[in-house]
Amino acid sequence: MKIAVIGATGLVGRVILRVLEESNLFSNVTILPVASERSAGKKLTFRGEEHEICGLRDALLAEPDIAIFSAGADISREWAPEFADKQTFVIDNSSAWRQEAHIPLVVPEINSFTIEKNTPIIANPNCSTIQLVLALAPLHRKYGIKRIVVSTYQSVTGSGAAAVKQLKNERKGIDGRKAYPYTIDLNLFPHGGNFLENGYTTEEQKLADETRKILDDQSIQITATVVRVPVYGGHSEAVNVEFNKDYDINELRELLAETPGITIQDDIAENIYPMPLFAEGKDDVFVGRIRRDESCANALNMWIVSDNLRKGAATNAVQIAEHLVKNKIL
């Protein structure tokens, strides 16, 4: 089996390679690392062996079984259909295809059934959406979600290597390239993505649109505020959910605890709750501060944290690839 990783030298691309290395299903895979022309010919290491980085055209000619894209929406729009025409299954980590009706938007624990042999392009959701819906899906099935209010506290790693470098430079007192319009160290700002005419940002709009699509319910009311914070380990979300039906808090906790990919960290007596510091490098979505909203009937508060480079991007994409293999869809 051949797997092409497009954007292999980027933050997410490197984590995709790491997750593929960890997967037993891909122990004998041939890796095609793909990057921009300026990186072509350079080498990177996968499972202890050096692999030469190639360009998109060479990767296309190699006709990989799977191509995992993480090189931005423009590259995906141009090249994903070409790979699909070669009978390659494309798993795309950009925003290019997520809202296309004929393209499945997949979190494998929730809706892998939407993947079929005739869906060669599969969209990977936004990082903050993935951790949100993984916690919401079992609750929606049981109680029905009426409304969601979510505020995110998003790691600089979500903006790529340049943003990480900016934060590191600021902490060292170095005046370097700016990925953000403001200082990020000792600061935070409510600006993720580009502003839309309605005052929301593209990141906030993605949370709403993608959540409805994955949960397959356009009636859910969602409002979001995205905040960028100076941390590395992952994204955090303060989530308020209003259900159509009342719930028992202990039953709700059990539902979450039984959900694959969810780890409950919720012991306030011992100051145990999810934090990016401990989520970094892990694949699970961590949920804590689970409590009834006493200001609104049938409502709940919870705090959700996950490594945005792992489950929020790379791990979810590799899980989709594993689903293709396990279910003999390839």
Residue with tokens 């590259």: 75
Are 87 and 16 within one domain?
Answer: yes
Pick from 312, 282, 317, 288: which is nearest to 301 by CA?
288
Are 258 and 230 within one domain?
Answer: yes
Please tell me the predicted confidence (pLDDT) of residue 39.
85
Q: What is the CATH number of the domain that holds 189?
A: 3.30.360.10
Asked whether the CA dihedral 122, 257, 128, 145 is positive or negative, the reply is positive
Q: Give the strand pairing for 299-306 and 235-243.
A: antiparallel
For residue 46, what are the β-bridge partners? 49
DSSP at 310:
I
Cβ-Cβ contacts under 8 Å for 202 (sequence gap 6 or more): 95, 192, 193, 194, 196
Please tell me the predicted confidence (pLDDT) of residue 5.
98
Are 70 and 184 within one domain?
Answer: no
Which residues are the active-site residues? 127, 235
Q: What is the CATH number of the domain that holds 75?
A: 3.40.50.720
- Which helix (H) or strand (E) segment holds residue 17: the answer is helix 11-22
Is the pTM of the predicted complex or chain greater than 0.95? yes
- Taking the C-alpha atoms of residue 28 and residue 52, their distance in angstroms, rounded to an integer, is 17
> ∠ CA(148), CA(149), CA(150), 5° rounding?
110
Burial grade of 49 (CB within 10 A; 0-12, 13-18, 19 or more): exposed
Please tell me the predicted confidence (pLDDT) of residue 237.
98
Are 227 and 318 within one domain?
Answer: no
- Which helix (H) or strand (E) segment holds residue 116: the answer is none
> 107 is in which domain, residue-wise?
2-124+313-326
Are 195 and 281 within one domain?
Answer: yes
Are 51 and 98 within one domain?
Answer: yes
| Per-residue pLDDT of the chain in tens (330 residues, 90 and over written 9) | 999 999 999 999 999 999 999 999 999 999 999 998 888 889 999 999 999 999 999 999 999 999 999 999 999 999 999 999 999 999 999 999 999 999 999 999 999 999 999 999 999 999 999 999 999 999 999 999 999 999 999 999 999 999 999 999 999 999 999 999 999 999 999 999 999 999 999 999 999 999 999 999 999 999 999 999 999 999 999 999 999 999 999 999 999 999 999 999 999 999 999 999 999 999 999 999 999 999 999 999 999 999 999 999 999 999 999 999 999 998
Q: First-to-last CA distance in the chain?
A: 10
Please tell me the predicted confidence (pLDDT) of residue 291.
98
Are 190 and 258 within one domain?
Answer: yes
Please tell me the predicted confidence (pLDDT) of residue 204.
98
Are 140 and 255 within one domain?
Answer: yes
In this structure, what token pair is assigned to residue 279?
Answer: 């989520």
Number of other residues whose CB lies within 10 A of the CB of residue 262: 21
Cα–Cα distances in Å, from 119 out to 9, 113, 246? Answer: 27, 11, 38
What is the number of structural domains in the chain?
2
Torsion, CA 238, CA 241, CA 306, CA 321, rounded to 10: -150
Are 136 and 207 within one domain?
Answer: yes
Are 244 and 120 within one domain?
Answer: no
Q: Give the strand pairing for 235-243 and 145-154.
A: antiparallel
Are 21 and 103 within one domain?
Answer: yes
Are 159 and 37 within one domain?
Answer: no
